[in-house]
Amino acid sequence: MNRLKTALTGTTVLTLAAGAAMAEGELNALVWCDHTDPGLIEPFEQAFGVKVNLREYEGTGAALALLEQSRPGDWDVLVIDGIDVFRAVDAGLLAPLPDEALPTDDFFPQVVMAENNSVDGVTYAVTEKFGYNTISYNADKVDPADMQNLSAVWSEKYDGRISIYDYYLPVMGLAAIANGIDTAGIDGASLAAIGSTLGEMRARAASVAGVVAAQTALATGEVDIVVGGGEWLTAVLAEEQPELTWTIPQEGAVRWAQSIGVLESSENKDMAVEFVKYITSPEGQARLATSSCFWGMPANAKAGEFLTDAQKNTLRWDEQPDYLARTQLYPAPDTDLDIEMQDLWLDTLQQ
Amino acid sequence: MSTGHQRLKGPGFVTPALIWTFAFFVVPFLVMGTMSLATLEGRTLVWGLSLANYAELTEKAYLWRAIMVSLEITLTVTVVSVILAYPLAWIIAYRIPPRWQRLALLLAILPFWTSYVVRSYAWLLVLAREGVVNQTLISMGLISEPITLANTRFATVTGFVHFFVMLLTLTIYANLVQLSPNYRRAAMDLGASAFQTFRHVVLPLTLPGIVTGAFLTFVLCIGDYVTPQILGGNTELTVPQVIMVQLGRRADFPLASALAIVLMAIVTLVYILSARWLRLDRL
Amino acid sequence: MTRLLPWLYLAAAFLFIYLPVAALVLFSFQDGGLPVPPFEGPSLRWYADILSDDDVMAALTNSLMVAVASAAVACVLGFLAAYGLARHVLPGSALIRGLLIAPLTVSYLIVGLGLLIVIQRTGLGLSLFTAGIGHVVINLPLCFAIIYASMGAQQQNAERAARDLGADEFRVITLVTLPMLAPALAAAFFLSVTLSWDEFIISFLLTRFDVTLPVEIWSMLRSGLSPRLNAIGSLVFLISVTAVLVLEIFVFRKRRP
């Protein structure tokens, strides 16, 4: 029924060929949980008279499989890990975006990431949000100076006081950085060194935790350090327990970035582009940055005009130039390396 | 008594349920079996008759370990739950006056109706370092430092046992009250001690109920994803967790299917071992 | 001492059983932002938060719809099958019974995974409807078993009498069999509603935009620690327990002589 409606609306829009048509309709988006905040979505729905249907997903692999098996018109918008945009493009899933409609000139220059978001000069996606996978800790329980040095973080001093964030890419990225390996340079040969660091971490860790488990563990004193944490983990806790904070160690840390794009099979592309424009606009960016699921830095620097000083403080707005300079993007393995990395990760967990 | 007329009609009544079971249970199961023989090359699904996914179970240590972890946890949970539930059911059936029994039973299983996802989360709060259990133990002077309970196998087992004690209390109680008190009375009259009566009369008679409950516990426990995911701290992974990783991150349906078939095989084996005492169609 | 032992055990067992519920409910009234000690409160802010959350309320309605619809289908199919098997001599009836009971011995995850693969391959599309199909699969064996077990000789005699008096099969079923089986049907129906209402993994795998309450709670759980989870958990508990008590008092109590 939904599909029929979407299809009909799609056809109507095409027939009218009316640019940013204000047609009644639905937009189906495959997203991360931060997009499900009504505070973010409702203003768009009201402005354009559409219903935005949202579905969360977990990993890029699963999202790509879902999209490949879907039928035309099933999906309009995709939010995807910045490093994985090329995989979606390779699979022919993303449609080109009109460069002139995107406010990338206002972005923090380091997060425009044209090399990730475009292929052969054609833009397929645009960065919308970023942040860091680094070290979150309890400043009352650990020596903040130790947190400046990755090997001190998982040293014997903090044995059993550590939780590892349950996502292999950023954590293995941190392990690589600790070994002086660039995240972009991770290959089959460097996995041995990464694996042994991962083993050390694992041996010191009390748990390998998802978002809630890591937050619970930090908030209740179960652990004092979360490896792979960051502002997205501690921002919601900081209000109650200001001693829970995060830092970027000397060696650097991993930067995550999420991109948004329009699907090639969408039958409502104009509305989908409108949605992308809304999300990357200063207002949309400010809402996305502080959305209920997790906070993160907006890609668009003009979002600052719509954020309060307290919000900017939590996001560490003023320190971004320094942080951006010292962090590297998540590792972006190809399919084979990805499987090797996942296997190494699961093996380490099961030890 | 069955006339020819009735013989024709019988199948008509059974057919809808059979079609449903066939279409939405047997067929998916067969497709899953076929899927387990396919392989994933890159992101392309290649149908075939390959045993590669099953070979991976022995090649990749974490997959084999997951099977072991699942078995260990499930067996522990089943045994502990039966041992804890039996006395509870016994007390309700034989120590509590009949008119209060139904109320006592209802109270014993009421938390069954907390949302299942939330129940595991609640245990996380209870077992946390500053949670109720640690605080109580410290204030009683039993421990001086909080002990790590959450995010361990202990937490997973506790979460499971909590749920299955309720389930088993219900099934064992139902068995106990069906026993005619005359059996026990006769044994006592013949000079058997309370323990002998239990060992030689009550236990054998309630065995089918215990085995049926234990079997259900085994099936539900070994296939559960939520409890170990929330409480186990990912320090070890069970088969359902590995299946969900294959689906969620990599969309590796062939490997996930192979793991599901292995789970099925384990359950089937347990079914065969306990079939003598199972009464699944007389729950 | 040995006389006291059972009561001590009972007390310990109830403590264990109610411990997580008590912690859940207590911290749902937390005034602060985190559901961990110390308790600051009481406050109803998280209940207000939950009740004004459209997604949660929509999920609650969805769950109720799926539960009632799937339980009804499972009961009808289960009743028909039980009637067919108990009242008619069928070839291979043991095999049929085995097949109908079989889903009971299979993990929900496997039922969900199998259906997911088939639905994706056929391009049917996921929805609350597909989740409902899965729930019927897991509830049909229970409904069948419960109803089949209660079809005793007593009903059969009444049915035979009705038939001898000239009633056709439809009238026998509607006027004799169904009323006599009402308690078993009610038990099967409410058990199915309970299981479907609380089922997670099948709904998680088989829904798309509209989700059931356990799936909504799961995504809340993944998005951060908050007393909201305690509030929704306590609320669900309150709803379920009220339903159970109402049934116990008004429906099941009447059965007893």
pLDDT at B218 over 70: yes
Beta bridge partners of B46: B39
Do residues C53 and C38 touch, judged by C-beta distance below 8 A? no
Q: Specify the pLDDT at position B44.
A: 80
Backbone angles phi, psi at A333, to 5 degrees: -70, 150
What's the CA gap between C42 and C40, in Å, rounded?
A: 6
- Residues of chain C with Cβ-Cβ distance to B222 below 8 Å are 107
pLDDT band at A147 (very low <50, low <70, confident <90, very high): very high
Yes or no: domain A131-254+328-349 corresponds to CATH 3.40.190.10: yes
**Identity of the residue numbered C182:** A
- Token couple for B98: 């009949």
pLDDT at C114 over 90: yes
- Residues of chain C with Cβ-Cβ distance to B230 below 8 Å are 221
What are the distances in angstroms from CA A335 to CA A90, A151, A224, B36, B55?
Answer: 12, 30, 35, 20, 20
Backbone angles phi, psi at A136, to 5 degrees: -100, 145
pLDDT at A14 over 50: no
pLDDT at C153 over 80: no
pLDDT at A184 over 50: yes
CA distance A280 to chain C (A): 22
Mean pLDDT lowest for which of B97-111, C69-83, C236-250? Answer: C236-250
Q: Specify the pLDDT at position C191.
A: 87
Is the minimum CB–CB distance between A69 and chain B shorter than 8 Å?
A: no
Instruction: Give the chain B residue nearest A91 (alpha carbons).
Output: B43
User: Where along chain C do its domains lie?
Assistant: 23-52+224-257, 65-212
What's the CA gap between A87 and A97, in Å, rounded?
A: 16
pLDDT at C130 over 60: yes
Is the minimum CB–CB distance between A45 and chain B shorter than 8 Å?
A: no
Instruction: Give the chain C residue nearest A220 (alpha carbons).
Output: C36
Which residue of C17, C146, C251 is the best one to mutate when testing the B interface, meaning the one whose CB has the most B CBs within 10 A? C17
Yes or no: domain B59-282 corresponds to CATH 2.30.130.10: no
Q: Specify the pLDDT at position B282.
A: 52
pLDDT band at B5 (very low <50, low <70, confident <90, very high): very low
* H or E segment to which residue B269 belongs: helix B253-274
Torsion of CA A62, A68, A69, A71, to 10 degrees: 130
What are the distances in angstroms from CA B13 to CA B21, C133, C157?
Answer: 14, 20, 20
Which residue of C119, C218, C222, C226 is the best one to mutate when testing the A interface, meaning the one whose CB has the most A CBs within 10 A? C222
Q: For the segment C4-22, what is each residue's pLDDT rounded down to a tens digit?
A: 888 999 999 999 999 999 9
Burial (0-12, 13-18, 19+ Cβ within 10 Å), A333: buried
Q: Specify the pLDDT at position C4.
A: 87
- Residues of chain C with Cβ-Cβ distance to B125 below 8 Å are 20, 23-24, 27, 35-36
Q: Which among A205, A222, A339 has CB closest to B150? A: A222
Question: Quick one: how far is CA A21 from the chain centroid?
Answer: 30
- Residues of chain C with Cβ-Cβ distance to A293 below 8 Å are 223-224
Q: How many CB pairs under 8 A join A and C?
A: 56
pLDDT at B68 over 90: yes
Q: Specify the pLDDT at position B98.
A: 86
Q: Mean pLDDT for chain B? A: 86
Q: For the segment A247-277, what is each residue's pLDDT rounded down to a tens digit?
A: 999 999 999 999 999 999 999 999 999 999 9
Core vs surface per residue A276-306: b (16+ CB within 10 A) or e: bbbbbbbbbbbbbbbbbbbbbbbbbbbbbeb
Q: Do domains A10-130+256-318 and A131-254+328-349 have the same CATH topology?
A: yes
Radius of gyration, alpha carbons of chain C: 23
- Give CATH for domain C65-212: 1.10.3720.10
Q: Which among B21, B219, B253 has CB closest to C99? A: B21
Over range B63-75, report the average pLDDT.
95
Q: For the segment A40-85, what is each residue's pLDDT rounded down to a tens digit?
A: 999 999 999 999 999 888 788 888 888 887 888 889 999 999 988 9
User: Where along chain A do its domains lie?
Assistant: 10-130+256-318, 131-254+328-349
- Give CATH for domain A10-130+256-318: 3.40.190.10
Instruction: Give the chain C residue nearest B29 (alpha carbons).
Output: C114
Q: Specify the pLDDT at position C252.
A: 64
Is the minimum CB–CB distance between C219 and chain A shorter than 8 Å?
A: yes
Q: Specify the pLDDT at position A24.
A: 56
ipTM: 0.86
Asked if the Cβ–Cβ distance from B234 to A91 is below 8 Å, we say no
- Residues of chain C with Cβ-Cβ distance to B102 below 8 Å are 248
Over range B54-65, report the average pLDDT.
90
- Token couple for A31: 């997203």
Among A29-33, B250-254, C166-170, name the most confident range: A29-33
**Identity of the residue numbered A336:** D
What's the CA gap between C169 and C148, in Å, rounded?
A: 18
What's the CA gap between C43 and C32, in Å, rounded?
A: 9
CA distance B167 to chain C (A): 12
What's the CA gap between B32 and C112, in Å, rounded?
A: 11
What's the CA gap between A139 and A144, in Å, rounded?
A: 6
Contacts of residue A264, defined as CB under 8 A and 6 or more positions apart, other chains included, come to A92, A93, A94, A95
Q: Specify the pLDDT at position B280.
A: 62
Q: Specify the pLDDT at position A314.
A: 87
pLDDT at A345 over 70: yes
pLDDT at A346 over 80: yes
Nearest to C212 by CA among C230, C195, C237: C195
* H or E segment to which residue A228 belongs: strand A225-229
- Token couple for C45: 């802010």
Q: Specify the pLDDT at position B223.
A: 93
Q: Specify the pLDDT at position A8.
A: 41
Using CB atoms and an 8 Å cut-off, which of residues 39-78 of chain A contact chain C?
Answer: 53-56, 69, 71, 74
What's the CA gap between C20 and A346, in Å, rounded?
A: 31
